[in-house]
């Protein structure tokens, strides 16, 4: 399977899980989001515009850029919240991972179901630590901010390599959902199945 896999590992405090996950997931999705395709006559089309928004973290000394879409933000927050709850309730020693998977949905003929072929998977491993006093929390706040910055650079680096789906499949009417298209104007323009967030093992 030609699926590109990237792994990011972060060590955070319990209250920083949300923001650290959001920062990385939004950064990845920013690079994988495009505007809405408007098909016109004569085989031409135009692409909508993606807006961006800065988000400051409250518990981490960090600011990240996300796609300016409340709907997308809600979806991501919900997934992160579920992951965090699972992490807290699992009884594991504060370790778990969450994955963001980009896949291509290939329609199959009856009676076969549609085939989901992932072409890129981002896995974020989380290691949660407990801190006692405020001084350590302050150090943690700054350190995690620096680490997240390094992770963002790690996210950006693979973008130099073209995404497999872009290289092999130019915009095609059959596969409009190469990228996550959650972002435009609150209307339901999302192509379900293009992106999946999976909570993998909590260990």
Tokens of 3: 């699926």
CA–CA–CA angle 188, 192, 195 (5° rounding): 120
Tokens of 13: 């405090």
Count of beta carbons in the 10 Å neighbourhood of residue 109: 5
Integer Cα distance of 25 and 11 in angstroms: 16
Q: How far is the CB of 113 from other proteins (least distance, A)?
A: 30
Q: How far is the CB of 80 from other proteins (least distance, A)?
A: 19
Nearer to other proteins, 90 or 154 (CB): 154
Nearer to other proteins, 5 or 52 (CB): 52
Interacting residues toward other proteins by CB under 8 A? 11, 27, 30-31, 34-36, 38, 40, 42, 44-54, 56, 61, 63-65, 67-69, 127, 129-132, 136, 139-140, 143, 147, 149, 152-153, 155-157, 159-160, 162, 166-167, 170-171, 183-185, 187, 189
Nearer to other proteins, 65 or 121 (CB): 65
Q: What is the largest CA-CA distance in the chain?
A: 66
Nearer to other proteins, 71 or 118 (CB): 71
Nearer to other proteins, 40 or 109 (CB): 40
Contact 65, 53 (CB under 8 A): yes
Q: How far is the CB of 140 from other proteins (least distance, A)?
A: 8
Nearer to other proteins, 82 or 150 (CB): 150
Q: How far is the CB of 69 from other proteins (least distance, A)?
A: 6
Q: How far is the CB of 109 from other proteins (least distance, A)?
A: 29
Q: How far is the CB of 15 from other proteins (least distance, A)?
A: 15
Integer Cα distance of 13 and 16 in angstroms: 5
DSSP code per residue over 104-149: EEE---TTSPPEEEEEEEEEEEEEEE---SHHHHHHHHHHHHHHHH
Tokens of 146: 């620096």
């Amino acid at each position: 399977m030609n699926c590109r896999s990237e792994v990011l590992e972060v060590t955070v405090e319990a209250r920083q899980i949300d923001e650290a996950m959001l920062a990385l997931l939004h950064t990845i999705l920013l690079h994988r989001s495009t505007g809405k395709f408007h098909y016109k006559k004569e085989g031409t089309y135009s692409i909508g515009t993606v807006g961006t928004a800065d988000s400051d973290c409250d518990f981490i000394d960090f600011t990240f850029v996300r796609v300016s879409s409340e709907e997308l933000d809600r979806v991501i927050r919900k997934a992160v919240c579920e992951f965090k709850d699972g992490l807290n309730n699992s009884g594991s020693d504060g370790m778990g991972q969450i994955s963001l998977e980009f896949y291509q949905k290939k329609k199959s003929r009856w009676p076969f179901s549609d085939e989901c072929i992932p072409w890129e998977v981002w896995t974020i491993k989380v290691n949660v630590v407990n801190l006692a006093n405020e001084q350590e929390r302050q150090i943690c706040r700054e350190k995690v901010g620096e680490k997240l910055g390094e992770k963002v650079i790690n996210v950006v680096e693979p973008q130099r390599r073209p995404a497999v789906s872009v290289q092999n499949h130019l915009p095609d009417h059959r596969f409009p959902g190469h990228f996550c298209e959650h972002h435009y104007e609150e209307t339901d323009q999302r192509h379900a199945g293009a992106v999946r967030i999976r909570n993998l093992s909590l260990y």
